[in-house]
Amino acid sequence: MDTARHALVIGAGLAGAAVTAALCRRGWRVALLDAAPGPAMAASALPVGVLSPHLTRQPTPMSRLTALGVPVTRAELERLVPPGAGWMPVEVDNRGAHAPGRQAAALVRPGALVRAWLAEADERLQAHWSASVATLGREQGQWLARNAAGEPLARAPHAVIAAALGARHLAPEAAGPWPLGPVLGQMSLAALDGAPLAERPQRDDGVFVPEYRDSGLAPQWPSAIWAMGSTYARGQTDTALNDAAHRDNAARLRDLVPAAADRLDGLLADGRLLGWAGVRCASMDRLPLVGAAPDPLSSAVRQRAVAAVPRLPGLWLLSALGSRGLSLAAACGQWLAAEMEGETPALDADLRAAIDPARFAWRRARRGP
């Protein structure tokens, strides 16, 4: 047994499941820890999301990353999840002025992909549920996760922090606090009664899903729904559903499909509108954190290139996917697994620098006091 190819992964949402699956496919053993009683119970519990690239007038790091990531996720869905039991292939009408037109896409229940990844990894995976990690420290060459009582939960030579905002207290700060923040999103949805109010999903400022059918939706949801969302409220963490967010969704929906907005308003007034809210994690520059954690005690952080910043041995991050988890998680998990094996990820150097967790410490150090 190669004891070095053993990692603990903190977080069992899209990010944690993606890197767990990628490592297990490479022959690693993984101890997966999550504070919840099961996988995909935070932001990845979204009933339905849209898998499609981020479109911009000119290429940006995010548009390039999602262009690479979407085909990877689509391939994983086709390989692991039956259509109708976690996803549906669709086309989406982009209504925004900067990139109008029709585009291939997919409607996805993230939890279905998370569970499929973990099921595939089963023989090499040890899952620890209701395991809230309070501290993560290095002892005798291994990373040790402990709970709030100081009791050990798991240890391994490598640790991946994929716990969204949990990275703020689990990853050692380098030249200042991690610039990560919460983004609250609320989706409005309802049972699909009758014909859909559009032929396909409509996207501009938000996405209207006129029809989503999924035999595996949680019991609180109908098996056929329509949905609009979601809101994007930086700094907010209260996931209690509120009418103001529903009205915001209705206002944006009115620009896409007025009849659907009328329907949403009517259901809200009658008290029959359903909804879901979750907190996503986003970085200051809205790009993910994927790679080795910087060494906060190193005096060599002011390097000419961010890639040269010294790193903590065996500590990795996969966080801040924001509202792009479906588009990015699968590819980011594969890129990180490659890096953990000592390979160079199949990613242009400027994109590797753009998602490097050391970039914030490097920028601060370059600016000086």
Query: What integer pLDDT is reported at residue 162 of this predicted model?
Result: 98
Query: What integer pLDDT is reported at residue 110 of this predicted model?
Result: 98
Query: What integer pLDDT is reported at residue 356 of this predicted model?
Result: 97
- Tens digits of per-residue pLDDT, 40-71? 999 999 999 999 998 888 899 999 999 999 99
In a shared domain, residues 47 and 85: yes
In a shared domain, residues 216 and 339: no
In a shared domain, residues 105 and 246: no
Question: What is the extent of the structural domain holding 42?
Answer: 1-179+284-369
In a shared domain, residues 74 and 4: yes
- What is the value of pTM for the model shown? 0.95
DSSP E strands in 97-167: the ranges are: 101-108, 125-128, 135-139, 142-146, 152-156, 158-161
Query: What integer pLDDT is reported at residue 104 of this predicted model?
Result: 95
Query: What integer pLDDT is reported at residue 1 of this predicted model?
Result: 44
Residue 308 backbone phi and psi in degrees, to 5? -85, -5
In a shared domain, residues 137 and 210: no
In a shared domain, residues 40 and 128: yes
For the chain, how many structural domains are there in total?
2
Q: How far apart are the first and last CA of the chain?
A: 48
- Ranges of residues in the chain with a pLDDT under 70 are 1-3, 97, 174-176, 299-303, 367-369
In a shared domain, residues 172 and 236: no
CB-facing half-sphere around the CA of 141: CA atoms within 13 A: 3
Contact status, residue 264 vs residue 250, Cβ threshold 8 Å: yes
Domain ends where: 279, 304, 335? Answer: 279
Separation of alpha carbons 68 and 350, rounded Å: 14
Beta-bridge partners for 281: 182
In a shared domain, residues 56 and 188: no
